[in-house]
Amino acid sequence: GQQLNQSPQSMFIQEGEDVSMNCTSSSIFNTWLWYKQDPGEGPVLLIALYKAGELTSNGRLTAQFGITRKDSFLNISASIPSDVGIYFCAGPPNYGGSQGNLIFGKGTKLSVKP
C-alpha cells in the first residue's frame, strides 16, 4: 500500500535556527497535510496543501506541495523552544479508500539541543 516516509526521523534544534523536514512517497498524493503533536497531546493541523507547487505559510511555518506530487516539505524559521514536538505528514490514499481516511508518516521529532 501507499506509504509516507519522513526525514529526518529526529533532529535537535537550537533556538533561532531554521528547520527543514520532508515527506516523500513512491506514489502520487493529491493532498498533503502537516500536523504537530506536543508531548501527551493530540496532533494539531498546521497546514493543508491541495495543489501541486503550492506554497503556504502559517506564521513561521512554510510548507510546499512538491511539483511531482510525491513529496512535501515543511520549514520552520527562527525556531523557538515551543517548536519541539513531533511533526507528521499525512495524505489521503488514492486507491479508493473511504473519504476522510489518511495515511500518516511516522513523524519527525524535534528536540532542543542539550
Partner 1 sequence: DGGITQSPKYLFRKEGQNVTLSCEQNLNHDAMYWYRQDPGQGLRLIYYSQIVNDFQKGDIAEGYSVSREKKESFPLTVTSAQKNPTAFYLCASSTIYEQFFGPGTRLTVL
**44: which 3 cell numbers?**
494539531
Q: Considering only the stretches 11-19, 32-40, 52-60, 62-70, report the one whose residues sit in contact with partner 1 under the rule CB under 8 A.
A: 32-40
* DSSP line for the chain: ----EEE-SEEEE-TT--EEEEEE-SS--S-EEEEEE-TTS--EEEEEE-STT-EEEETTEEEEE-TTSSEEEEEE-S--GGG-EEEEEEE--SSSPPTT--EE---EEEEE--
Q: Site mask, partner 1, residues 73-102, x = CB under 8 A?
A: ---------------x-x-x-----xxxxx
Rounded to a whole number of angstroms, the minimum distance from the CB of residue 78 to partner 1 is 27
Of 26 and 98, CB closest to partner 1 = 98
Q: Site mask, partner 1, residues 45-74, x = CB under 8 A?
A: x--x-x------------------------
Yes or no: say if 22 and 73 are a contact pair by the CB < 8 Å rule: yes
Rounded to a whole number of angstroms, the minimum distance from the CB of residue 49 to partner 1 is 10
Binding residues for partner 1, per CB under 8 A? 31, 33, 35, 40-45, 48, 50, 88, 90, 92, 98-102, 104-107
